Chains A and B, each alone.
Chain A
Amino acid sequence: MLELQQLYKTYATGDTALRDVSFVVPRGQVMGLIGPSGAGKSTLIRCINRLVDPSAGRILLGDTDLAQVGRSELRRQRRRIGMIFQEYALVERLTVMENVLSGRLGYVPFWRSFTRRFPGRDIENAYRLLDRVGLLEHADKRADALSGGQRQRVGIARALAQEPALLLVDEPTASLDPKTSRQIMRLIIEVCDERDLPAIVNIHDVPLAQQFMHRIVGLRAGEVVFDGTPAALDEAVLGDIYGAEDWTAMRREHEEDQAAEADATRRVAEVAR
C-alpha cells in the first residue's frame, strides 16, 4: 500500500510542480494519473522513488517514509519500486537479457553484476518474465534491435524482475501506435492483477485510461482536482482538468483512431478470407 500525505514540490527555479497532493493506493489497484502536460504527473511519480526530491510531505510505502530515507536506505527502497518509462529507457547497447537482469542490480554485489554472473534464481525468473511478455526467443538480441512495442515489454520485464511492491509507470504508450498501446496497457493491467501489485500510471490519453484503469486521479497545475472511478469521469470533470476545447479535440482523435483500427482489422479479415 502506498500513501501520499500533503506532498509538495517546488523546483529551485521557484516553479511549484506539486501542491498538497494526498491519496492512498491500496494493493492491487491500478491508478491512472491524468492531466495536461506540465500538470506535474511526471514529477509526482519521480518524487515517489526520489528521482526527484519532494519539498515537503510524506510518502509511505508500508511503514517506511520514502521522503525521509538516507542514501543507502534509498537504494534498498528503490529495489521495491519498479518503474516503466515513456521511451522505454532500455540500455540500447546491452542485450535484452542484460536489461531484464539489470532489475536485480539492487540485490546483487558489484562483482556479480560486473561479471554478469547472476544467481540462478534471478536468471530463471528473468527467463520466466521474458516468456510472460512473449520475448523468450529474443533474450540474446541487443535491445536496439527490437521494435517499440517489444522494447516496452522488455521495460515491463525489467521492472517486474525487481519483484516490486509498487509499480510506477510513466506514459508507457506515448511513443507507440494505438493498437500496440492497448496491448501494452492490457499487459500492464494483467501483470498487476497477477501479483496484486499497486501501480500508478501516468497517462495523457484519457479514453485509454477510462478503458483500463481501476481508478483515476486528475491533476491540474500540481493539484488533485479529481479522484474517483473511470465512470465518474464525465465531460464536466474533464473540461475542468484539461480545458473544454482541448478535451473535445482529444476525444475526437481517439474515435478516429478506433475507427481506423476497426477498419484495418476488417480489411485484414477480408484478405484472410
Chain B
Amino acid sequence: MKPTLVPPDAPTTYADVWTFRTPRARLALWFGWLALVALFVYCWQVMNADTMWVFVADAPGQAADLGSRMWPPSMAYLPELMAPLWDTLNIATLGTLGGVIMAVPVAFLAARNTTPSRVWIRPVALLVIVTSRSINSLIWALLLVAILGPGLLAGVVAIALRSIGFVGKLLYEAIEETDARQVEAISATGASAAQRLDYAIVPQVMPAFWAIALFRWDINIRESTILGLVGAGGIGLKLQASINVLAWPQVATILLVILATVLVSEWVSARVRQAIM
C-alpha cells in the first residue's frame, strides 16, 4: 500500500483571508478601550472636585520653601539616630526570620503537589496566605501596638505576620513548579514521604527559597523604617517626632539615613544572591 500525503477529502481551494481576531473579539476589545477612557474621564472629575487649584498653583514655591528649610541637614542629629536605626534593622531581620519560619510549613501545605489534603488543608493554608498579604505592615503594626503595647516587639511581629503571605505564596508556587520526574524517580526507590521532600523537592526549591527570603528582607528594611509612625519602634519614631516639631533639618537627616540603609541592603542582598546561585 502506497501512502499518500493528501487525505481524500481535502478541499481543492483555500481561503485567502485570515484575521487575527474574530469579529466578536474585535468588538470586545473596542469596548474594553472605550470603558478605560470613560473611567479615566470619570476619575479626572473626581480628582478635580476636591482639589483646590490655588494650592496646586504655588506648589513649586512651597516645595522650594520646604527644601530650603530642610537644607542643610542637621549632622549633629546623626549620632542620636544610630540606636533607632539599629532597632529598625533588627525589626526587619528578626521579622523576616520569624516570617520565613512560619511561611515554610504553610507553603508546603498550600502547594498542590505536597499538601496532605487538597480539600481540607490546602484552602486553610491559602486563607492564611491571603489574610497575611491583604493587611499592610503598617496596619498590622497598628493592631499589634494596641495588643502588645508600643515598642520593638510589635514591629517585629507585624513584619513577620506580613511576610508569611509574601514568602508563603512565592514559595508554594516554586514548589508546584518542581520537576515531577525527579520526584517520581525518588518515589520509585521506596522513599517515604518525608524522604521524598528532603531528596526530590527541597533541593529543587532551595535557590528560589533563598532568593525569596532575601527579597523579603530587602522589602522589610524599607517597611520597618515607617513602623515607628504608629509607635512600633525604630527610626520612624524619630521621624514622627521631628515632623511634629517642624524640625526640618532633622527630617532631612533621617531621610538620608533611610536612603543610605536601603542602598546598603540592596547591595548586600545582590551580593548574597550572586554567591548562592
Contact = CB atoms under 8 A, between A and B. Distances in A.
Contacts of A56: none
Given A94-B203, A110-B195, A105 B189 contact: yes
B128 interface: no
Nearest to B205: A93
B3 A110 contact: no
A106 B189 contact: yes
Interface stretch (B180-188, B239-247, B260-268): B180-188
Interface residues of B, number: 23
B190 A78 contact: yes
Contacts of B181: 85, 87, 89
Interface in B201-228: 203-204, 206-207
Contacts of B17: none
Given A93-B206, A105-B195, A113-B199, A85 B190 contact: no
Interface residues of A, number: 31
Contacts of A85: 181, 184-185
A6 B128 CA distance: 49
B76 interface: no
Contact of B189 (A78, A94, A110, A245): A78
A104 B192 CA distance: 11
Most chain B CB inside 10 Å of its own CB: which residue of A93, A94, A105, A162: A105
B191 interface: yes
Given A92-B182, A93-B206, A51 B199 contact: no
B190 A162 contact: yes
B194 interface: yes
Interface string A98-123: 10001111110010011000000000
Contacts of B1: 244
B161 interface: no
Given A51-B188, A92-B204, 11 more contacts: A51-B187, A78-B187, A78-B190, A79-B189, A83-B189, A85-B184, A90-B185, A102-B191, A110-B192, A110-B195, A110-B198
13 contacts: A75-B191, A83-B189, A91-B203, A92-B203, A94-B199, A98-B199, A102-B186, A105-B186, A105-B192, A110-B192, A114-B194, A162-B190, A244-B1
Interface of B: 1, 3, 179, 181-182, 184-192, 194-195, 198-200, 203-204, 206-207
